[in-house]
Every structure is written in C-alpha cells, then in structure tokens.
Amino acid sequence: MTETLVIYQDRGTPAAGKIQVNEAELFPTPLAVREFFRRHPTTGWSDVEYQESGPGQLFLYADTLDALERLLDDVAVTRAAATTALHIMRKGTSMHRKVHCPQLAGAAFDAGHEVNGPA
C-alpha cells in the first residue's frame, strides 16, 4: 500500500513523520532546493519506489511533530504532496481511491471543519 503521510513513534523517542511529495513540483530549480533546506534544515529525504506514485517521488522525513507541522504549513510541500495524491488517484488502481473521504481529510487538517456523513 502506498504511504502518503505517516506519523510514527518508537518507544522512548519523540513522534516523527514522513510525507510523500512530487520532486518536480517541490524542486523545480536548484534554487528551490536551497530555499527549501533553509526553511527546513532538519528535514531528510529519500526516493520513493512505489509504482502507484509514478516516477520522481520523494519522502520528506521530519524528526519531530513540530518539524512535520512546519512541513505541512509550507505551501510548496502541500502542493507537491497534492500532486502526488492526484497522480495516485488518477491512476485508478489505487486502494486509496476506494476509501478516500474528503470530509475526513478536511477534518484532519482543519480543526474547525465538521465531518458530515460516513467516514
């Protein structure tokens, strides 16, 4: 199963997370790479090998929940993550397409959003 956003915690360590993003969307130029790492100096990254995501995907790793929140507050990151999600959904073979709930996703990112209907 393709992972697009993961939050995890090992015993005795702070919670951390990773976000799958489209590399071309996040890093269109070498300057964009430098600017990103100025904004997020503790963020790590690795290539993603999921077939559903298509080529040019990265995982961004945040070592704390605060760092993950900063990534999610960065418009460049959320646009690149949205591009990845759109590619997965358009492919049509993803399990995520069958279980995606826009209301639940909205509630996860907007505490003021009401969830209507089945989740």
pLDDT confidence tier of residue 119, bands split at 50, 70 and 90:
very low
Tokens, residue 46: 């690795």
Tokens, residue 23: 């590399």
The whole-number pLDDT of residue 110 equals 63
How far, in Å, CA of 88 to CA of 100, rounded?
A: 11
What is the tens place of the pLDDT at every residue in 104-115? 566 656 654 444
Higher pLDDT, 103 or 88: 88
On the question of pLDDT at 91 being above 50, the answer is: yes
Q: Name 89's Cβ contacts closer than 8 Å, sequence gap at least 6.
A: 96, 97, 100
- CA-wise closest residue to 86 among 103, 100, 72, 69: 100
pLDDT confidence tier of residue 46, bands split at 50, 70 and 90:
very high
Tokens, residue 71: 């990534």
